[in-house]
Amino acid sequence: MKPVAILGCGMVTGVGLDARSSCTAMRAALTAFEETRFTDGGHDPIIGSEVPLEKPWRGVAKLARMVAPAIRECLTAAAKAQTASIPLLLCVAEKERPGRLADIDDEILSEIQAILDCRFHQRSRVIANGRVGGAEAVAQARAMIQEERIPLCVVAGVDSFLVGPTIAAYVRQHRLLTNDNSNGFIPGEAGAAVLIGPVNDTATAEFRCVAIGFGHERATINSEEPLRADGLVEAFRGLDRDGGMTLNDADYRYTDCNGEQYGFKSDRLAISRVLRRLKARFDHLHPADSIGEIGAAVVPCMLGLALTGAQRNYAPGDGVLCHCSNDEGGRAAIILRRTRRDGSR
């Protein structure tokens, strides 16, 4: 399919309450990791990255107040467009997530609209597929813009791992980073959003989503099957089928690797199987270094980081690969490129 443009972004993270401060902090490798009220099996505090909200909100109310400011921020790029003409595609935790809020699917869109005092397009929806949901939302937004002539879409994500039942489940599975487990992740939380629209060939420079690929992995993190990264390889090869892109069209990459060895091993295996021309440099960046595991918010966060790097001219190149996975085997990859008016890349 044809490309679409990433026009604006917004973020609320543990290191910043807007995109500018969050991106600056993550670029500087700053963190907000602190001891939380949760403990591991040995009664040591769990380290996490918490968003500093003005009140101790809980449940759907907390998630809505993390993502609503990010949505408002990204809408500043929508000029005078009415929100009633803009679908909101909101990514949340997958239904299999331990400790997932039971009422999130039914309540969060209404809560967000109440906070923002607006109504979004009737095609707005919740996408409950964790980290991979963000790539699915971008694909759906692209289809709405190109096939249904919807002018703009907001792709947003919000998630929190700092929930008692969630922490307890991952402690039992030995998946959190603790004093006794170095092969684990730091739980975090965040809200992030990007504004997506049609390309503008008269723009001086534009940041575009040029290809999306999906795959499915049988050897998941909880599986005993040998890992060959078949799902991520399938997603990478899907980039060529979708937009004629390969990994050689990307200069660096953002991924959802969160500190667990499984994610890094999968990344290395897939890259080695698909990349056919040696790169002198292929930087590997991951937001979890600064803000921990943020689940369904990670794809909008990565897109916002890449957009900001392109706009402020500190990105390692014009092309960026973003890829993500979820525990149930879903895999997705996106290639984005900064294009210039003369057509150069």
Each residue's pLDDT tens digit, 85-114: 999 999 999 999 999 998 999 999 999 999
Residues 7-14: what's their mean pLDDT?
Answer: 98
The per-residue pLDDT for 43 is 83
Element (H, E) at 39: strand 33-39
The whole-angstrom separation of Cα 74 and Cα 88 is 12
* Residue 29 burial (CB count, 10 A): 8
Instruction: Answer whether residue 342 shows pLDDT above 80.
Output: no
Q: Whole-model pTM? A: 0.96
Q: What is the pLDDT of residues 161-200, one digit of tens each?
A: 999 999 999 999 999 999 989 999 999 999 999 999 999 8
The H or E element that residue 5 is part of is: strand 4-12
Distance of alpha carbon 316 from alpha carbon 333, whole angstroms: 19
Task: Output the average pLDDT for the chain.
Answer: 95
| Res 22 pLDDT > 80 | yes
**Token reading at 36:** 């939380």
pLDDT band at 205 (very low <50, low <70, confident <90, very high): confident
Closest CA to 157 of 115, 179, 126: 126
Q: Which residues pair with 88 in a beta bridge?
A: 154
345 pLDDT higher than 70: no
Buried b (16+ CB within 10 A) or exposed e, 158-185: bbbbbbeebbbebbeeebbbbeeeeebb
Could you tell me if 31 and 289 are in contact, meaning their C-beta atoms sit under 8 angstroms apart? yes
Encoded tokens for 44: 């040591």
How confident is the model over 231-276, as pLDDT tens digits?
999 999 999 999 999 999 999 999 999 999 999 999 999 999 999 8
Q: What is the mean pLDDT of residues 326-345?
A: 85
